[in-house]
């Protein structure tokens, strides 16, 4: 409700349908419509109960129904989130950027910036960043290259209320996370990453030197500060013939 702020349902107390069922249905519709996209974090239970005008017990019962249906998931200490519709294995757990990974391996890269402007974000992005749709955010698009050619296309949306003036940064040499942490003193703590395979669209194929429809690795990420606030959303398309995502996993 924080990003898109849809209207609250008209809770009917004089009908046979239980109040918690009405609330569940309203939340279900917000998810189905895309107003609350995958990984969207709901407000706290006390805040939601107050907005719906019900007790915490009633609100919790509605949420429990959706959790059992697999539409919501609760993470201890972080809140309640809309689940993804795809299976997401817990891979690539280290929260580092491509530029940091390349640097640690001694790989020389160059960066081309396609866009670095302030825009009103798409509604799903606004919801994930917990801002209103008319809020101005930074849209940053870049292409990373090695000596083999382009390896990744990155599209980032960054909250400028947390990093005012960031659009003036020269991102051909600067790291986004580095700027957020070193220039603005923000403490990046966690992120939610989703990996999938996609067919390259015309724009992605052009940027990555691929044929339209060629397979690419796609990564979607929402990045959070140590206080739980989302600060950045990104889409990343990776040339799978030139770059592989590898994870070191521990069983315990």
Same domain, 76 and 23: yes
Within a domain: 199: yes
Within a domain: 12: no
Rounded distance between C-alpha atoms, residue 163 and residue 186, angstroms: 9
Same domain, 69 and 147: no
Within a domain: 121: yes
Q: What is the pLDDT of residue 33?
A: 75
Above 70 in pLDDT, residue 92?
A: no
| CA distances to 29, 72, 106, 132 from 67, in Å | 15, 5, 45, 26
The domain tally of the chain equals 2
pTM for the complete prediction?
0.68
| Cross-sheet strand order for the sheet of 149-159 | 110-119, 137-146, 149-159, 230-238, 215-225, 188-199
Within a domain: 48: yes
Q: What is the pLDDT of residue 5?
A: 40
240 vs 45 pLDDT, higher one: 45
Q: Which two tokens stand for residue 154?
A: 């990155």
- The region of weakest confidence among 3-7, 124-128, 186-190 is 3-7
Angle separating helix axes 45-52 and 56-69, nearest 10 degrees: 110
| In the chain, alpha helices (H) | 19-33, 45-52, 56-69, 98-104, 123-129, 176-178, 202-208
Q: What is the pLDDT of residue 12?
A: 77
25 conformational bin, left if phi > 0, alpha if psi -120 to 50, beta if neither: alpha
Give the pLDDT band (50/70/90) at residue 177. Answer: very high
Following CA atoms 181, 233, 170, 142 in sequence, which dihedral angle do they give, to the nearest 10 degrees? Answer: 140
Q: Which CATH number covers residue 63?
A: 1.10.10.10
Above 50 in pLDDT, residue 1?
A: no
In this prediction, residues 35-48 reach a mean pLDDT of: 90
Q: Which two tokens stand for residue 91?
A: 């891979």
Q: What is the pLDDT of residue 3?
A: 37
Output the CA angle 55-23-73, nearest 5 degrees: 90
Within a domain: 173: yes
Same domain, 76 and 148: no
Which single residue is written with the structure tokens 């996209």?
37
Within a domain: 8: no
Range of the domain at 125: 98-238
Q: What is the pLDDT of residue 170?
A: 96
Above 60 in pLDDT, residue 66?
A: yes
Q: What is the pLDDT of residue 47?
A: 92
pLDDT single digits (tens) 117-176: 999 999 999 999 999 989 999 999 999 998 889 999 999 999 999 999 999 999 999 999
């Amino acid at each position: 409700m924080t990003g898109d702020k849809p209207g609250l349902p008209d809770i009917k107390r004089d009908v046979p349908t239980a109040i918690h069922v009405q609330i569940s249905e309203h939340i279900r519709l917000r998810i189905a419509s895309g107003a609350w996209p995958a990984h969207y974090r709901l407000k706290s239970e006390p805040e939601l109960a107050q907005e719906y005008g019900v007790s915490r017990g009633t609100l919790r019962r509605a949420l429990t129904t959706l959790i059992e249906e697999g539409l919501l998931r609760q993470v201890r200490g972080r809140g309640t989130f809309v689940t993804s519709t795809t299976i997401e294995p817990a891979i690539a757990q280290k929260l580092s950027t491509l530029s940091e990974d390349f640097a640690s391996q001694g790989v020389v890269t160059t960066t081309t910036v396609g866009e670095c402007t302030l825009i009103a974000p798409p509604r799903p992005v606004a919801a994930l960043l917990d801002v209103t749709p008319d809020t101005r955010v930074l849209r940053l698009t870049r292409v990373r290259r090695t000596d083999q050619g382009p390896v990744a296309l990155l599209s980032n949306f960054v909250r400028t209320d947390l990093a005012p003036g960031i659009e003036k940064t020269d991102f051909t040499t600067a790291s986004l996370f580095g700027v957020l942490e070193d220039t603005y003193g923000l403490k990046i703590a966690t992120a939610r990453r989703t990996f999938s395979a996609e067919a390259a669209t015309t724009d992605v194929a052009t940027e990555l030197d691929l044929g339209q429809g060629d397979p690419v690795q796609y990564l979607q990420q929402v990045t959070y500060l140590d206080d739980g606030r989302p600060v950045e959303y990104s889409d990343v398309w990776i040339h799978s013939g030139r770059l592989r995502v590898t994870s070191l996993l521990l069983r315990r």
